[in-house]
Amino acid sequence: MSRLVPPHGSPELKPLLLEPAARKEELKRAEGLKRIPMTSRETGDLIMMGIGAFTPLDGFMGKDDWQACCDRYTLPTRKNLFWPIPITLSTTEDVAKSLRIGEEVALFDTETSTLMGTMKVTEKYSIDKEHECKEVFRTTDPEHPGVQKVMSQGPVNLAGPVKVLSESFFPEEFRGIYQTPKQARKLFDERGWSTVAALQLRNPMHNSHAYLAWIAIEVCDGVYIHQLLGKLKPGDIPADVRVRAIDALVNKYFRKERVIQGGYPMEMRYAGPREALLHAVFRQNYGCSHLIVGRDHAGVGNYYGPFDAQTIFHEVPAGALAIQPLCMDWTFYCYECGSMASMKTCPHESKAVIDENGNYKGGARLLLSGTLLRKLMSEGKPVPAEFSKPEVIAILKDYYDHLEEKVEVKLHNAATGAQ
């Protein structure tokens, strides 16, 4: 019998991906249905429902759930189940007018030209997009990538239960990394794990990431390095490059029996604290008992404080989540300690000085961040040896050397230590 935490809001996983025989029949039937185009974010959310990562959702949210999710983190249609971010599908006014309540439609991913699923339309409704952005992203700034997505979506939301027909390109393109919750739980059970710490990654692992993972292994049975495989904002390192870099680090610097790698198909929202809560929800579905929450978890720019994603867990009602946050302080390499350290352990407060050639010139704390690493690499500047392992740097250097069009990487407060 499994000793892992139960799925969120359900005694068992509820994947919505049809079995092969039923899928074949539904694909044929879907040929005669009206097609509703989906964005990459909506496609990723549909796949998450398909593989059971969004258990116990059975489709895209209606207006009551959207409103309560934004305002109170709850879903009234599911006995006020805790849920932190709306999962919605939008369309144009013309398409919405052409649909009848109760009509079934085909869900089509425009970027990959793939028929992804079907849905029975139970509701058509408009929303206050600015309200969603204020609640979920804490801003309506159009420069925020998550706000951009919401404000550019169609004016009408469609709700209803879905049947999922495809996992898109993820199983093939990321073979060996892409995993469903059922597959991850099976691996954890086979190792006899009961406590599993999830490490969320959208960047290649630098030494601070590795340090957090090593700490987690000391207090849990193992760590689940869980990479986002969906779409990122311009300037972020693509998933295939990140996978190779993380592989290189894990294979040489971790005990293999204490780490498992996985990947999931959701698109990054950059919602900071709210996204940390969503990461906790679906990591619980993957079987994780803890979520590592470090500095600026799921953040972007200067929209969130460096530890807002930790304090938001205080707002979660008791018993709403089985998974717990494993909160970590700011970590860095300390030249005086001669090792990785954190604000809780290191007494040396001076900031390390590195010259333009990457040479150490004095001071103690070298602050590490994925944003700073991308900036140094994209500008062809040397990376201090203490920042990341040489195997990782070599893979990233090759990527940037062959990158035809580079995006300027801007440093935000959480990447530099500014308040």
Among 167, 199, 229, which residue terminates a domain?
167
pLDDT at 390: 92
Q: In this structure, are 194 and 206 located in the same domain?
A: yes
Q: In this structure, are 68 and 156 located in the same domain?
A: yes
List the CATH number of the domain containing 137. Answer: 3.10.400.10
The structure tokens 């590795």 sit at 210
CA-CA distance, 301 to 410, in Å (whole number)? 8
- Residue 345 DSSP class: T
The structure tokens 């309560």 sit at 68
pLDDT at 418: 46
Contact between 52 and 7 under an 8 Å Cβ cutoff? The reply is yes
Q: In this structure, are 25 and 71 located in the same domain?
A: yes
Q: Which residue of the set 157, 203, 207, 285 is catalytic?
A: 203
Apex CA 92: angle with CA 72 and CA 144, to 5°?
50
Q: In this structure, are 178 and 317 located in the same domain?
A: yes
Q: Is 203 a catalytic residue?
A: yes
Q: In this structure, are 134 and 188 located in the same domain?
A: no
pLDDT tens digits, one per residue of 81-123: 999 999 999 999 999 999 999 999 999 999 999 999 999 999 9
CA-CA distance, 261 to 177, in Å (whole number)? 6
Q: What is the mean pLDDT of each run of 10 residues along the chain (419 residues)?
A: 96 98 97 97 98 98 98 98 98 98 97 96 98 98 97 98 97 95 98 98 89 96 96 84 91 96 96 98 98 94 95 96 96 96 95 88 90 81 89 91 74 50
Does any domain span residue 135?
A: yes
Does any domain span residue 98?
A: yes
Does any domain span residue 416?
A: no
Q: In this structure, are 238 and 278 located in the same domain?
A: yes
Does any domain span residue 67?
A: yes
Among 137, 167, 197, which residue terminates a domain?
167
pLDDT at 419: 41
Q: In this structure, are 49 and 110 located in the same domain?
A: yes
Does any domain span residue 339?
A: no
pLDDT at 411: 58
List the CATH number of the domain containing 239. Answer: 3.40.50.620
Q: In this structure, are 292 and 213 located in the same domain?
A: yes
- Give the rounded percent of residues in the chain with a pLDDT score beyond 70: 97
Does any domain span residue 360?
A: no
The structure tokens 């350290």 sit at 341
Q: In this structure, are 43 and 128 located in the same domain?
A: yes
C-alpha torsion 331→332→333→338, nearest 10: -40
CA-CA distance, 82 to 254, in Å (whole number)? 35
Does any domain span residue 356?
A: no
Q: In this structure, are 117 and 206 located in the same domain?
A: no
pLDDT at 407: 62
pLDDT at 375: 82
pLDDT tens digits, one per residue of 178-229: 999 999 999 999 999 999 999 999 888 889 999 999 999 999 999 999 999 9
Four-residue CA torsion sign, 70, 75, 76, 80 = negative
Backbone φ and ψ for 164, nearest 5 degrees, come out as -100, 135
Q: In this structure, are 140 and 26 located in the same domain?
A: yes
Q: Is 357 a catalytic residue?
A: no
The domain total for the chain is: 2
Contact between 132 and 61 under an 8 Å Cβ cutoff? The reply is no
Among 119, 136, 167, which residue terminates a domain?
167
pLDDT at 136: 98
Token pair for residue 46? 């549909």
Structural domain containing residue 228: 171-264+270-328
Buried b (16+ CB within 10 A) or exposed e, 228-256: bbbbbbeebbebebbbbbbbbbbeebbee
Q: In this structure, are 175 and 214 located in the same domain?
A: yes
pTM score, whole prediction: 0.94
C-alpha torsion 111→113→115→121, nearest 10: 50
Does any domain span residue 308?
A: yes
Q: Which residue of the set 41, 185, 202, 374 is catalytic?
A: 202
Helix (H) or strand (E) holding 224: strand 222-228
